Structure 1
Amino acid sequence: MRGVVVTGLGVTTAVGQGKEDFTASLLSGHHAFGVLRRPGRSVPVGTDGSAISASFLGAEMAEPAMPGHISARTLRTASLSSRVALATLDEAWRDAGLDEADPARIGLVIGGSNVQQRELVQLHARYSEHPEFLRPTYGMAFMDTDLCGFCTEQFPIRGFAHTLGGASASGLLAVLQAVRAVQSGQVDVCVAVGALMDLSYWELLAFRAMGAMGSHRWADDPAAACRPFDLGHDGFVFGEACGVVVVEREGLRRHPAPYARFLGGGTAMDGNRNPNPSAEGEVAVLEAALREAGLPASAVDYVNPHGTGSPTGDETELRALRRAGLDHARINATKSLTGHGLTAAGAVEVVATLLQMREQRLHPTRNLVDPLDETFPWVREKAEPCQVGTAVSLSMGFGGISSAICLEAC
């Protein structure tokens, strides 16, 4: 992967829209957890007048500020996932100065599948009694490739565009795929988007039923619910998010200050449909990323982990980090501030890693009161200075997908 650098970033989350706002929120330990109130995320009231379930907790963003060149007509049929992708891509596009790049040599990878579920559920309910009035654009909107259509229509991306589904590893897999596309010469510049996964109450109910998402335990104290690597954890807490990473061939264009250079990456499958993680798979991708980077584990300064707050997931990840020789590196948990962005998480956490490398400061980990393992060098209540020359970021997804990437400051 040598010779591929990051030249642009974009990020939209509940704790910050735009990389400067997001950086400030990270370093101050800001959060936006509360009861989810977006229409379509509350279980409908039953015929007897009672709700099926209590409300769900999470972090929801404000409506994103849209670029001026995108028309109101375009936005009328754009889903929340599409609107957020457009706004976030615009920031990364301007950051990288891509107006001067050849459109035929720019590619796009959107990480995520089934990312518009809430809006589809609402649409089905709206037209259930009169399906003949369903708007024709539904024929495009129900497919995740609709995000590719929106993005390439509004930005001059003419090399290639496709979606890539890897559950909660999707965002990081999109970044890795973008790097491979540049490395192979398929394109000169590639944009990786970790798409906002817009959950409906159906997905929320299922995640809670399987024990992946947090229970009602913290219903009266939403701020305390998201607890990665803490003994009080009981599942992930959802957080709306989208991250965009622009990668390109080093030295191809004049760029004042690339964020970082890619050194290595790894992906692996556990051969397991179920959501339980595998330490073997996680160790394998860590070792693969370091091997491609040509680095010993001892050379890594910082690890940005998957860290969801799932009891099994957190414990497995710490075992994997120790077995891979990374238990010396500084560690924090971005999801303790943003919540779990699911398909977006991996890209958002690459953005968070790069912004911390730029600042040479690491953000705190909220609610880390009783760590699962005190011997890891945690960043806990406050942001801390740290000289980060090399960093590793991890993402895992349902279906036994593990992924890791190694970054070096330029």
Structure 2
Amino acid sequence: MSGPVADGRAVVVTGLGVLGAVAADPGDLSVALRAGRCALTAPAPPADADRPGVSWPAFTAELASEDVPKRALDALPGLPEDLRTAARRTALRAPAPVCAAVVAALQAWLEAGLDRTAPPPERIGVVVAGNNLTERVTEDGRTRAERNPVYLPARYALHHQDTDHVATLSRVLGVRGEGCTVGGASASGNLALAHGARMLAAGAADVCLVVGAMTPLSQLQTRGYLTLGAMAPAHGAPVRPPAPFDAGHRGFHPGQAAACMVLETVASARLRGARSLAGLVGAAVVLDGNHLADPSVDGEVRAMEGALAQAGVSASDVGWVSTHGTGSPLGDRTEADALRKVFGTGDDGPWVNATKSLTGHCLSAAGVVEAVAAVVQLRGGFVHPDPGRREPVDASLRFTGDEPRRARGGFVLSNGFGFGGINSAVVLAHPQV
């Protein structure tokens, strides 16, 4: 987004959805956030754990099984029968991550009241956050085909493409407007929110579903992150996962979740009588001119200041910051430095928390998951705790600690930073500010 928009095309949030290891729906997410319920557990070692050079994650937040999204779809309450039939016929044949995206989208669709009244299908768009979403599908397909070529699923050529998410959502929900995937590594979620907001502000759609796609990692991806030093290894791991920005951090802990946020123009929401849950009032995406994994204070500062400027609010108006907060020593230190530059220090600054301390790092979906979590907290008037932070890396920032805090003010800034110098931030506002 490049500047303020006319009131009628201002962007509001009218629906939320989430399905993951930490919560089965937005209501469950609210309970988990307030309680500081952490979904991270230590996984079992791989079968080849004794081989030289083999490592695995210290902690993960994974679905109990691949059947969870299918069971969630069957159990989804309040779903009109025709929509349930379309979802079952399409999503139950899809890979588990696509089915999870459909469940999250349907939750948001129902909360927004789009099952009762909606713009024409041509005025509804969908943006899916993420890139390299299907490497696990490719890895599993290769394993099956190597055993016997006839084991390769007939729809593999469709399922191995990221756009399978967009196509399946379009089919289930009858979306006929603009649709695409938006990739920016771990910044993908915020990029998708920015793209969806721009679509509405430009008049290309009246409603846009922004979906963060769950990404089960392949073995190769997992070992790649471990080799890079970005993911916390099991070797030498503590008994409990340290929270981001704790001195004991050793890298990120992967998490699994799909999330959806329905964005809508104010004019469309008023016409439909839809309730505004929050406003998406600012977004910024900037590059570092860097192709590596090392972050930049300057880039992160420019993203945060850009989002605040577009929102028309000052740093002092922000009640709390939902950090990128991965648990990477360099990443946490860089973001802490950037936060100090933007917000200063002291007891009058914003609260600082990191949803990844509870959900794990949901990778491409992280920005959407954390935006949903931010709106849940805005609605509930609290800022979630971060259990597991015993020794903050920067004592000058107002980390929430072990207890939830009272939300101050009506604005939250949510960060998302990706490999290759991709920096993003979005500003969400309470509907009454």
1:202 and 2:203 matched: no
Residue in structure 2 matched with residue 261 of structure 1 by the alignment: 279
In 2, distance between residues paired with 1:196 and 1:210? 22
- In structure 2, the residue matched to 1:145 is 163
1:130 aligns with 148
Specify which of 56, 59, 62 is matched with residue 60 of structure 1: 62
Residue of structure 1 in register with 2:259 after alignment: 243
Q: Which aligned segments of 4 or more residues in structure 1 are displaced greater than 4 angstroms?
A: 49-52, 70-73, 217-220
- In structure 2, which of residues 87, 91, 94 is the aligned counterpart of residue 78 of structure 1? 94
Separation (CA, whole Å) in 1 of partners of 2:87 and 2:197: 31
Q: Is the 8 A contact 1:29 1:363 kept in 2?
A: yes
Give the aligned partner of residue 12 of structure 2: 5
Task: Name the aligned partner's letter for residue 211 of structure 2.
Answer: V
Which residue of 203, 206, 225 corresponds with 1:188? 206
Structure-2 residue corresponding to 1:169: 187
Q: How many residues align?
A: 402
Q: Which amino acid aligns with 1:162?
A: C
**Mapped contact 2:352–2:397 kept (Cα < 8 A):** yes
Alignment RMSD (CA, Å): 1.9
TM-score (norm 2): 0.88
Q: Distance in 1 between matches of 2:18 and 2:87?
A: 22
Distance 1:251 1:309, change over 3 A: same
Q: CA deviation at 1:36?
A: 3.7
Shift of the 12–132 alpha-carbon distance from structure 1 to 2, 3 Å rule, reads closer
1:35 counterpart = 2:42: yes
1:287 aligned to which of 305, 319, 322: 305
- Counterpart check, 1:275 vs 2:275: no
Alignment-derived partner of residue 380 in structure 1: 401
Task: State the one-letter code of the partner of 2:168.
Answer: F
CA distance in 1, matches of 2:350, 2:179: 36
Q: Does 2:329 correspond to 1:322?
A: no
Kept in 2, the 8 Å contact 1:228–1:307? The answer is yes
**Match of residue 103 from structure 2:** 87
Equivalence for 2:364: 343
Q: 2: distance between equivalents of 1:123 and 1:111?
A: 23
1:115 maps onto 2:133 in alignment:
yes
Whether contact under 8 Å (1:43, 1:52) holds in the other structure is no
Q: What is the Cα deviation at residue 377 of structure 1?
A: 1.3
1:311 corresponds to: 329
Aligned to 2:79: none
**Structure 2 residue aligned with 1:20, among 15, 18, 27?**
27
The C-alpha deviation readout for 1:77-119, integer Å capped at 9, x for no partner, is 3112101101100000001111311211000000001112223
**Structure 1: segments with no counterpart, 5+ residues:** none
User: Which AA in structure 2 matches 1:248?
Assistant: E
SS at match of 1:135: coil
Partner of 1:353: 374
- 8 Å CA contact retained: 2:249, 2:328: yes
Unaligned runs of 5+ in 2: 77-83
SS in 2 for 1:262: strand
Query: How far off is 1:394 after superposition?
Result: 0.5
SS in 1 for 2:397: coil
Question: Residue 391 of structure 1 aligns with which residue?
Answer: 412
Taking every aligned residue pair, what percent have the same amino acid on both sides? 37
